[in-house]
Amino acid sequence: MNRLLPYPLLTAALLLMWLLLTSFSTGQFLVGTAVAIGASRAMAALHPSKPRLRRWQLLPKLLGIVTLDILRSNIAVASIIIRGDRRDRVAGFVAIPLDLRDKTALAVLACIVTSTPGTAWVEYAPESGVLLLHVLDLADEAEWIAVIKNRYEALLMDIFE
């Protein structure tokens, strides 16, 4: 582990954020670099577990899939709200056995599930790896398990594990 730059990705992200919030100039670049290095060294003092990105090339693919899925479920949930509360729609809980164990990957999955309207992360049991989701339009339980496992979990395991 490099002493000056313990978290190169974090440092780069902080610098990028600084430049986006101020302006792209040499002066701001220098100040931003100082802040980013200082903050990432402060972070090192907390000794967080270091997330590993094994195949970062797949990140744009994940981002694309998630953006489209979120758009699709926005339309689905919006139409449910417009149509009103009908009897034929069943909302319910689904238990999904996950093989994903990496903490960062689980956090990313939580962001995906939460950002997608119609699915909500309710509970996760680390000892069994079972995730409890609440789904607004639960037509087919097996289909939801397949969606989470094949669409997101497989990709996340490729990226993080």
Question: Least distance (Å) from other proteins to the CB of residue 14?
Answer: 12
For 56, residues 6+ apart whose C-beta sits below 8 A from its C-beta are: 159
Which residues contact other proteins (rule: CB under 8 A)?
17, 20-21, 70-71, 74, 77-78, 80-82, 84-85, 91, 93, 95, 97-99, 107, 110-111, 113-123, 125, 128-130, 132, 134, 136
- In this structure, which amino acid lies at residue 83? R
Number of Cα atoms under 13 Å in the Cβ half of residue 32: 20
By 3-state DSSP, what share of the chain in percent is helix, strand and coil, each rounded to 5? 60, 10, 30
For the bound state, the minimum distance from the C-beta of residue 59 to other proteins, rounded and expressed in Å, comes to 13
When the beta carbons of 58 and 95 are compared against other proteins, the nearer one is 95
Q: Rounded to the nearest whole angstrom, what is the least distance from the CB of residue 41 to other proteins in the complex?
A: 22
